[in-house]
Amino acid sequence: MDGPSGSGKSSVSKGVARALGLRYLDTGAMYRAMTWWMLREDVPLDDPAAIAARAGEPVLVSGTDPAAPTIMVDDVDVSGPIRGPEVTGAVSAVAAVPAVRERLVALQREIIGTGGIVVEGRDIGTAVAPDAQVKIYLTASAEARAQRRNAEVTGATIAATQADLARRDHLDSTRKTDPLARAADAIELDTTSLGLGEVIEEVLRIARKHTADADGDSARQARSRAGEPPTRSETSE
């Protein structure tokens, strides 16, 4: 599940994972946790080489229960602090450093393992899991995204939040390594005028259809390998 900030990725991904009994991974939280650690260590964030030199140090542990996702850095639970303005303001710079991405993408692939997980981020369909069974790209209008973010984090005006989202989108989409992008085979879903329940239902419908199609394909392939003739519905396709 990829898409820009405020498109509804987190709530939708968690809801879908819970409905399907799957694990859940928030890769944005991993970039935020790395940023929190760099800030704590006083690493100069305007110096990509300094960030790269230390990117291998923090020990990150992501909990994958969609009902209670957690993130720990060096045994500190940073689930709260990574949502603060300091980390939010700095995370795009840290996420643009190739050494950071290399390390976190490797960790993400380790957690994904053989699958059974809903993963949300910016580059999941394009770089982290190009073979994912179902790829969704969520979008929403700039205004709707700013309104949703403001409902989560109080204190800023809609206009200020919208400007901050635009700044981050720009940085995330124009960076050289694995920018925010829709995979060619991802299904795009505009959530501007949909409620959370409606988006989850739509994603579940897409997931069911894809897995049914994939099951049909593998049954067809197995029959063909065994030298059996195609079924009537297969010949009529």
Residue of 210, 148, 201 whose CA lies nearest to 3: 148
Which one, 31 or 36, has the nearer CB to ligand DC?
31
- Helices 9-20 and 196-225: crossing angle, nearest 10°? 50
Query: Which of 92, 139, 141, 150 lies at the binding interface for ligand DC (CB under 6 A)?
Result: 92
Exactly one of 121, 132, 144, 189 binds ligand DC (CB under 6 A); that residue is 121
Residue 59 region, left (φ>0) first, then alpha (ψ -120 to 50), else beta?
beta
φ, ψ for residue 166 (rounded to 5)? -65, -40
| Binding-site member from 66, 140, 172, 207 for ligand DC (CB under 6 A) | 172
| Comparison of 102 and 220: residue with beta carbon closer to ligand DC | 102
168 sits near ligand DC (criterion: CB under 6 A): yes
- What distances in angstroms separate CA 10 from CA 1, 148, 220, 221, 224, one per listed residue? 9, 12, 36, 36, 41
Q: What is the size of the binding site for ligand DC (CB under 6 A)?
A: 13
Using the rule CB under 6 A, is 5 a contact of ligand DC? yes
Taking CB under 6 A as the rule, does residue 91 contact ligand DC?
yes
Q: Is 191 in the site for ligand DC (CB under 6 A)?
A: no
**Would you count residue 31 as binding ligand DC (CB under 6 A)?**
yes
Q: Which is nearer to ligand DC, 130 or 230 (CB)?
A: 130
24 sits near ligand DC (criterion: CB under 6 A): no
Q: % helix / strand / coil in the chain, to the nearest 5?
A: 55, 10, 35
Tokens of 122: 């910016």
Least separation in angstroms between residue 167's CB and ligand DC is 10
Closest C-alpha among 3, 100, 117 to residue 43? 100
Query: Contact between 147 and ligand DC (CB under 6 A)?
Result: no
Q: Which of 14, 122, 135, 149 binds ligand DC (CB under 6 A)?
A: 122
| Amino acid, single-letter form, for residue 32 | R
Q: Which of these, 225, 227, 30, lies nearest to 124 by C-alpha position? A: 30
The verdict on 187 binding ligand DC (CB under 6 A) reads no
List residues binding ligand DC (CB under 6 A): 5, 27-28, 31-32, 91-92, 95, 121-123, 168, 172
